Amino acid sequence: EAEVAQSPRYKITEKSQAVAFWCDPISGHATLYWYRQILGQGPELLVQFQDESVVDDSQLPKDRFSAERLKGVDSTLKIQPAELGDSAMYLCASSLQDSGNTIYFGEGSWLTVV
Amino acid sequence: DAKTTQPPSMDCAEGRAANLPCNHSTISGNEYVYWYRQIHSQGPQYIIHGLKNNETNEMASLIITEDRKSSTLILPHATLRDTAVYYCIVKGSNYKLTFGKGTLLTVNP
């Protein structure tokens, strides 16, 4: 069964350093999402791509977060500089283009900022 | 997207059916009901979804009321591995999922 691949699985970084997460969606999935999940809460959408275009980044803290999907396939989420409050799990998900299609999640990348 | 209301926690005995309720009284006609679960430290796992009719797959059954204002996820024979947070989500035409706090289901031996 095809899966959404994410790396790294775990990352510890110091405050003010840069950190990046990578995601490879299921083949053929045009829509890609990045979510953030703080411990004890449900996932929150950060950014949504349709192919290479951003369709929703209203919840992305743009002063320090950036996301790209240059060729409309894999994607990178970057945080610079990292802050203590960024400690969370970062989830990537993907789906086919239609709104009735299921969204599938990766295993997530755990970030600890010290 | 319509909001959902779920109980914060539920218990179930191993081997028994687990029935997880969800209220979505403001759901629109073209919005789907999705269920995901999340086992500790893992990404959300898709379980099942439906629009109007009841649905069944290898994992669970989804019962949607005729007025579509509520639904129930049924795990027919719960096991210890079904202990997780279960999210009921109404998904609209904007392609995205908005998660609430979900229901922590604890399956007891």
Note the pLDDT tens digit of each residue in A45-82.
999 999 999 999 999 999 999 999 989 899 999 999 99
Three-state DSSP class for residue A84: helix
Q: In angstroms, how far is the first alpha carbon of chain B from the final one?
A: 37
Instruction: Kindly indicate the confidence band of residue B92, based on its pLDDT and cuts at 50, 70 and 90.
Output: confident
Q: How far is CA B15 from CA A13, B38, B78, B95, B107, in A?
A: 43, 20, 5, 36, 9
Interval B26-68: pLDDT, tens? 998 888 999 999 998 899 999 999 999 899 999 999 999 999 9
CA distance B16 to chain A (A): 27
| Local confidence band at B97 (pLDDT 50, 70, 90 cut-offs) | confident
Q: Are residues A93 and A33 in contact, defined by beta-carbon separation less than 8 angstroms?
A: yes
What are the chain A neighbours of B42 within 8 Å (beta carbons)? Answer: 107-108
Q: What is the mean pLDDT of residues B78-102?
A: 89
**For the residues A6-16, what does the mean pLDDT come to?**
97
Do the chains contact at B95 and A95, CB–CB below 8 Å? yes
- Residue A30 and residue A52 in contact, taking contact as beta carbons nearer than 8 Å: no
Q: How far is B46 from chain A (nearest CA, A)?
A: 7
Within 8 A of B91 by CB-CB distance, chain A residues are: 99, 103
pLDDT at position A1: 67
Which residue does chain B place closest to A38, by CA atoms? B41
pLDDT at A56: 92
Query: Which residues of A1-114 form beta strands (DSSP E)?
Result: 5-7, 10-13, 19-24, 31-37, 44-50, 53-56, 65-68, 75-79, 88-95, 104-105, 109-113
Q: Quick check: B99 and A110 CB within 8 A?
A: no
Q: Is the pLDDT of residue A105 over 90?
A: yes
Inter-residue contact B85 to B37 (CB < 8 Å): yes
Q: For residue B58, which residues of chain A lie inside 8 Å, CB to CB?
A: none
The answer to whether the CB atoms of B101 and A106 lie below 8 A apart is no
Across the interface, of A4, A42, A97, the residue whose CB is closest to B99 is: A42
d(CA A39, CA B41): 9
> What percentage of chain A reaches a pLDDT higher than 70?
96
- pLDDT bin (cut points 50, 70, 90) of residue B3 is confident
Q: What is the mean pLDDT of chain A?
A: 94
Look at residue A92 and tell me whether its pLDDT is greater than 90. Answer: yes
Nearest beta carbon to residue A107 from set B43, B49, B100: B43
Residue B103 has pLDDT above 90, yes or no: yes
Mean pLDDT of chain B: 93
pLDDT bin (cut points 50, 70, 90) of residue A108 is: very high
Per DSSP, chain B holds a count of helices (H) and strands (E) of 0, 9
Contact A23, A73 (CB under 8 A): no
Residue B55's contacts (CB-CB under 8 Å, 6 or more residues apart) are: B48, B49, B61, B62
